[in-house]
Amino acid sequence: MVLLSEKEFGSIKELTLFVKEQLETLSYEVICAAYLDNENNLISLVELGAGTSNNVDTGAEQLIRYAHAIMCKRVVVYHNHPSGDSAPSESDIVATKRLYKLMFINGIDLVDHIVVSKSGYHSIFSVSPDITLW
């Protein structure tokens, strides 16, 4: 499901605020991916899946398949926390580390994974700088 198609954003922060607005009132977790060109311009924003009130699958296979289909090499992943707390959980961090490595193996740069909620948003890369290949 494509969330939007013709909207332009001047920065990843503007894109994040748009995604936050779309996801912050949901009562269940949703994960989506923003596919970017080499200048961080949005190519496509796609919902990858929906989960429960406190869990959602990363949708890694679908994310990678779509990136290859549109020949995209840069992605920002977003998901919401219906609880209202945008702080990444330990499982969010672990899943991001796995996703980062999987995407690298498939030739895709995971630019960031951002958690959004009513209270704000958090970059997992900012709160967990140890996300590396090894």
Q: What is the CATH number of domain 2-70+82-120?
A: 3.40.140.10
Q: Is 106 exposed, middle or buried (0-12, 13-18, 19+ CB in 10 A)?
A: middle
The pLDDT score that the predictor gives to residue 56 is: 61
Residues 97 and 99: their CA atoms lie apart, in Å, by 5
What number is the average pLDDT over the span 80-92? 93
Residue of 51, 66, 64 lying closest to 100 (CA atoms): 64
pTM of the model: 0.87
The predicted-structure confidence for 5-33, as pLDDT tens digits, reads as follows: 456 788 889 999 999 999 999 999 999 99
Which residue ranges make up each domain of the chain? 2-70+82-120
CA atoms within 13 A on the CB side of 68: 11
pLDDT over 50 at 1, yes or no: no
Share of the chain above pLDDT 70, in %: 87
Q: Which residues pair with 121 in a beta bridge?
A: 116
What number is the average pLDDT over the span 32-36? 94
Pairing mode, strands 109-117 and 120-123? antiparallel
The pLDDT score that the predictor gives to residue 129 is: 74
Greater model confidence, 132 or 32: 32
What number is the average pLDDT over the span 40-45? 89
Strand ranges, E, within the chain: 2-4, 30-36, 42-50, 74-80, 109-117, 120-123
